[in-house]
């Protein structure tokens, strides 16, 4: 039985991400793919509200917002796993038990969009439950749980700009400057990350050795110039996404013709991330995209932003 002295309810907001560079290595002995990536957290947020529940009720999950009908509300949801791992690590429950908590997920990041929406949910759930239950686990302990949940969860905890190595969970801060103005074009058709990896493994490609991020992008980020950063955007999954959904190529070409600083498929896709040279260009390009013949939703955002944080009224 849980014995806790916390507060009745906590809401935490965590950001989605875009990969400014994503280089994928060959699968290792465990079938996992090492990565060299540069993350940027962006102001498209997920929110998780954790509420005290009666003893013995277990974990209840509700979901609202974008793609809510496509999100499971059982133990397969990553927020269930996050709350359970946290409670066990803090010894609030026995190793074979689950805690008592109501979790509400409010989604704004598309499911299967390559922007780490699920990872943001997990990061938000970890911070929310840590606060709700008064467990006071330190950041290092939370990071360890985050890495067990998924490669992007640790980054969503911290936000900002970071280099990810290993499977993406080994983070190093990036020396960078400036604010970046993005447009995200969401697709109604998700792309499975697992399927994207399997397709990538069938293709002949050159994998840099050692696997690392390119110094050209690091230099561009230090300048804070979106034109220089836009010229360095790279993603090993991009061609797969373009082949799967040809409209993506049309959108990226349109952005280039309208003087975007750069465009890239986010993660394994299919979300397109367009980097504008300025706030003014962002507004003009958004209007042009909405006035075009694409029939898509366009969301404006900025980056980098902070990671998972408690929302105070």
For tokens 């875009």, name the residue: 18
For 152, phi then psi, to 5°, come to: -90, -10
Task: Say if CB 137 and CB 32 are below 8 A apart.
Answer: no
Task: Say if CB 251 and CB 294 are below 8 A apart.
Answer: yes
Whole-angstrom distance, CA of residue 112 vs CA of residue 196: 11
Please identify every residue annotated as catalytic: 17, 152
For tokens 């990565």, name the residue: 35
Tokens of 204: 């002949």
Whole-angstrom distance, CA of residue 52 vs CA of residue 49: 10
Whole-angstrom distance, CA of residue 113 vs CA of residue 16: 10
Instruction: Report the DSSP pairing between strands 59-65 and 101-107.
Output: parallel
- Determine which helix (DSSP H) or strand (DSSP E) holds 221, and give its type and residue range: helix 215-223
- Determine which helix (DSSP H) or strand (DSSP E) holds 200, and give its type and residue range: helix 193-201
The residues near 85 (Cβ < 8 Å, ≥ 6 apart) are: 145, 148, 149
For tokens 């293709």, name the residue: 203
Of the candidates 195, 206, 278, 162, the residue with the CA atom closest to the CA atom of residue 26 = 206
3-state helix, strand, coil in the chain (%, to 5): 35, 25, 40
């Amino acid at each position: 039985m849980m014995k806790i002295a916390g507060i009745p309810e906590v809401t935490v907001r965590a950001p989605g991400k875009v990969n400014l560079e994503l280089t994928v290595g060959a699968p290792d002995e465990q079938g996992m793919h090492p990565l060299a990536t540069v993350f940027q957290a962006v102001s498209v947020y997920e929110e998780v509200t954790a509420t005290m529940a009666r003893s013995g009720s277990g974990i209840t999950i509700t979901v609202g917002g974008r793609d809510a009908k496509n999100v499971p509300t059982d133990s397969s949801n990553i927020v269930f796993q996050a709350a359970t791992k946290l409670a066990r690590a803090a010894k609030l429950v026995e190793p074979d038990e689950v805690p008592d908590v109501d979790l509400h997920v409010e989604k704004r990041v598309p499911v299967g969009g390559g922007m780490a929406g699920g990872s943001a949910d997990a990061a938000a759930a970890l911070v929310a439950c840590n606060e709700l239950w008064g467990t006071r686990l330190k950041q290092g302990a939370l990071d360890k749980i985050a890495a067990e949940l998924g490669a992007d969860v640790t980054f969503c905890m911290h936000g900002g700009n970071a280099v990810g190595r290993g499977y993406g969970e080994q983070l190093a801060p990036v020396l960078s400057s400036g604010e970046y103005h993005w447009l995200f074009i969401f697709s109604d058709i998700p792309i499975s990350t697992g399927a994207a990896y399997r397709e990538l493994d069938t293709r002949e490609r050159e994998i840099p050795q050692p696997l690392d991020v390119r110094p050209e992008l690091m230099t561009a980020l230090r300048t804070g110039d979106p034109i220089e950063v836009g010229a360095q955007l790279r993603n090993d999954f991009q061609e797969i996404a373009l082949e799967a959904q040809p409209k993506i190529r049309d959108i990226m070409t349109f952005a280039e013709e309208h003087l975007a600083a750069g465009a890239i498929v986010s993660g394994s896709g299919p979300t397109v991330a367009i980097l504008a040279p300025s706030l003014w260009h962002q507004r003009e390009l958004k209007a042009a995209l909405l006035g075009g013949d694409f029939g898509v939703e366009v969301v404006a955002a900025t980056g980098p932003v902070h990671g998972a944080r408690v929302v105070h009224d």
